[in-house]
Structure 1
Amino acid sequence: MSDIPINLAVEDDLSEAVLREILKQSQRPFSIGNCLKRRGYGYLKKNLRGINNAAKGSPYLVLTDLDRNECPLAVLSDWLPYPKHPNLIFRVAVVEVEAWLLAHRKAFADFLGISIDLIPHDIDSETDPKRLLIDLAKRSRKRNLRDAIVPPQGSTAKIGRDYNGQLIEFVNQNWQVAAARDCSRSLDRAMNAIIHFEPTW
């Protein structure tokens, strides 16, 4: 089976790590090329038309967060009000990519050293997964993780000093999509889209 070339477009380093791991665990012969990445969704929204056009020559996988938008379809129709090329895989994490990490409940509970019962089953229904993740990290028995993920007391920072680094390490070493997709419908849909993707030439 020949390799399937694919480029990535993401909001940040954590989203890139998640997509790379999803592609790896899909067991499809994806060959990752470029990764377009800026902080936040603005760059993706501004450049999605160009990415859609570029997908005619080489497929693109785009991941953004739902955030405060009504639903994933609303994001796509707002960002891309013209036909989507079949080589563009556009996926939305509900509500944020952190939810996909939390969806592997046992692995994340073990990672933090907390009870699995503290992590909801229907993670897509959480309105602020990042806040939930940080609150869970506050309860961690592992001081190094608390210090890395939780913002320092009195700080205006929203995340800890090594928030992305620790979560990327979790993704690379412990996260399993097969388990996580059972607790996240948006992750399940994303994995299905990737597994069944066939490029058009």
Structure 2
Amino acid sequence: MSSLVLVGEDDLCCALGEQLIEQTLPGWTLAIAPINKRGVTKLKADLTRYMQQALHVQPVLCVADTDGACPVTVRQEWLLQPVPQLFLLRLAVKESEAWAMADRSAFASALGVSVASVPRDPETLPDAKREVLRLAARSTKRRVKEEMLSLQDVSKPGTGYNKHLCAFVRQGWRAAVAREASASLNRAILALEQLRAA
């Protein structure tokens, strides 16, 4: 049985990474609990260490957002040295929420909104997180509205925002469906499939 290390920019990146591994690499396990860097600054600071781990110990999957930047440019700026074959930096365009929304029917069901209201091409959204909040505000599920939206300002995430999104990803999100509506997710899955074949 093979194992790898998962590093995520935040809670949602970790949840998505877990499901990508579970759904794309059957039989593989996490060597340790997912490493949540709680921000892109801390993630970038440790990339060299994770690349060394991939070179000498075991594969490493790193999941982060592009935050609107070109993913090719981000990779060039972040990875200033030769990248080991077993180090996978996968970038969600533009935010990891786009990957979550890409499974439209499951996402709609989890949030309690119509499928028609969920964008067909979430990577083109200027702000995927804002779109999730907009959809949550229209939810037919009271707990979704109360917990995902800030009580002071419904345009901002509430204390249960990550809890609901991560629960959806772990329980209902289908990578094979979502990849059809997200090119960056599809590239991530292809990279993991290559890892499995190596």
TM-score class, shorter: over 0.9
Figure out how many residues of one structure are paired with residues of the other and give that number.
196
Write out per-residue CA displacement over residues 37-88 of structure 1, whole angstroms, 9 at most, x where no aligned residue.
Answer: 221111111111111111112110001100032x111111101111100010
Partner of 1:67: 67
Shift of 1:199: 8.6
Equivalent residue for 2:3, pick from 2, 5, 10: 5
How far apart are the structure 1 equivalents of 2:66 and 2:153? Answer: 29
Write out per-residue CA displacement over residues 149-184 of structure 1, whole angstroms, 9 at most, x where no aligned residue.
Answer: 1111348x9311111111111111111111111111
Partner of 1:111: 110
Structure with a larger share of its residues in helix: 2
Asked if the contact 2:14/2:35 (under 8 Å) is kept, the reply is: no
Partner of 1:58: 58
Q: Any gaps of 5 or more consecutive residues in structure 1?
A: none
Partner of 1:78: 77
How far apart are the structure 2 equivalents of 1:192 and 1:86? Answer: 14
Superposition TM-score, scaled by structure 1 size: 0.92
Asked if the contact 1:87/1:199 (under 8 Å) is kept, the reply is: no
Partner of 1:176: 174
How far apart are the structure 2 equivalents of 1:30 and 1:93? Answer: 22
Asked if the contact 1:104/1:175 (under 8 Å) is kept, the reply is: yes
- Identical residues among aligned pairs (%): 35
Asked if the contact 2:51/2:87 (under 8 Å) is kept, the reply is: yes
Shift of 1:198: 4.8
What do you get for the CA RMSD once the two structures are aligned? 1.7
Superposition TM-score, scaled by structure 2 size: 0.93
Shift of 1:27: 4.1
Asked if the contact 2:98/2:123 (under 8 Å) is kept, the reply is: yes
How far apart are the structure 2 equivalents of 1:162 and 1:63? Answer: 22
How far apart are the structure 2 equivalents of 1:127 and 1:17? Answer: 22
How far apart are the structure 2 equivalents of 1:85 and 1:154? Answer: 44
Secondary structure of the corresponding residue to residue 61 of structure 1:
strand
